[in-house]
Structure formats: C-alpha cells, structure tokens
Amino acid sequence: MSVLVGKKAPQFAATAVVNGGEFVENYSLDQFIGKKYVVLYFYPADFTFVCPTEIIAFQDAIGEFQARNVEVIGVSTDSQFSHWKWLQTEPKDGGIKGVKYPLIADATMNISRAYDVLAGDYNYTEDGEIFFDGNPQAYRGLFLIDKEGLVRHQVVNDMPLGRSIEEALRIVDALQFFEENGEVCPAGWHKGSKGLVATQEGIAKYLGEK
C-alpha cells in the first residue's frame, strides 16, 4: 500500500455525476488547486450495503464540509450510468437519491490504482495471457488534499468497515488549525481544544496543563 501523504495527489480526468444526475466529462482535481481542500474517498460498489450509509452520511454533513471550504468527492469502479441509476433510486429502496456532491466513475480502475486502493490488479499467466487477479473494486480509502494539491492525510479500511465522517471533519479541522496557528494537534484534539507548540517547552507546558 502506497503512502501518499506529503506527495502530490495523483491527477485524473474522468466522468462524474454531479447534482444528483448531471454528467460532467473530464472532471479533475485541477479546478480546486489554490481554491479548496478536497476530501476524496473511494468505496467498493454501487447498490451495496455499507456504501450507501457512508455516501448519505457525507451528504448529511455536506454543509459542515462546505463551511470549511472542502469539496467532497466519491469514487468507485462503477460506470457513470450505474452512479446515475443509483442516484435516482430512493433510499428506502436501497438508493442514494438526494446526494448532490460528485461521484466519479472509475470504470477503467486507473484512479483506484493510482491511489493504491484497488483490491486486485492485472497479472499474467505463464503463457503471457493477462487476467485480473483479485477484486476489481476499491477499498474504503479516504484522502485529504490541501489547496496546494498535497495529500495531508489518508486512511484505508477493508470493505466491511465503514468510516467515520466525524473523524474526517476532525482531521480537516486539525489541518486548518495547524495552518492558521502554527501549532500542532495532540492526541484526541478537537476543534476548540488547545494546540501544542512543537518544542520541549511546549510539550512540558501542554502536559502540565492537562
């Protein structure tokens, strides 16, 4: 598994479904450089079971992300047509109707491979024939990308393990606190908590005040 933290986020241009049903060709992260943070997350597949709980939870919290100048983007290896159909299906019927943020179609699996969250990959037989070894779906990867296009945080869950949207917001808050104040964020830090000056005196003062 690649560690992308501290590196430029892999770029891509792919079809996205936005605003609950509009197709956008050549959707890329370039448009956010210098303007917005990005939470880019991967999920295994449309029309599954854990995935809609995460996707809808992100939508429920979208105002919190927008208030922090963060663009939320979902990605799976499904086609844009699968995304569109799922977005037209009511939640009571297993759908995600009401989700407005972009869902990227990674049918080629190139984006999932670039972020190293693909659960399988192409391989060759002894006769030189190509085949896909493993699962052609993405693990539950999440990447926080800053306004310069650098990955500042990543976490990858196995497919049965849903993520915490609250934790994603906490990490955004921590990064923005560091950028604004120059202080680092100690264990369990939440918005409104004290930061820590990264010196011996700073840690002594912090621990002494706990």
Q: Which residue has the tokens 């963060």?
A: 70
Contact predicate 62/165, CB 8 Å = no
Contact partners, residue 80, CB within 8 Å, separation at least 6 = 15, 16, 17, 23, 105, 107
185 is catalytic: no
Which tens digit of pLDDT belongs to each residue from 165-174? 999 999 999 9
DSSP lists the bridge partners of residue 142 as 41, 155
pLDDT at 1: 64
Place 50 in a pLDDT band, splitting at 50, 70 and 90: very high
Domains, in order of start, for the chain: 14-162 (3.40.30.10), 164-210 (no CATH)
Residue 179, token pair as written in the block: 């950028």
pLDDT of residue 210 exceeding 80: no
pLDDT of residue 4 exceeding 90: yes
How many C-beta atoms surround the C-beta of residue 175 within 10 A?
18
* Mean pLDDT, the chain, whole residue set: 95
Q: Which of 9, 38, 39, 51 is catalytic?
A: 51
Contact predicate 26/65, CB 8 Å = no
Task: State the Cα–Cα distance between residues 144 and 171, nearest whole angstrom.
Answer: 8
* Full-model pTM: 0.94
Strand pairing class (151-157; 140-145):
antiparallel
Task: State the Cα–Cα distance between residues 151 and 49, nearest whole angstrom.
Answer: 28
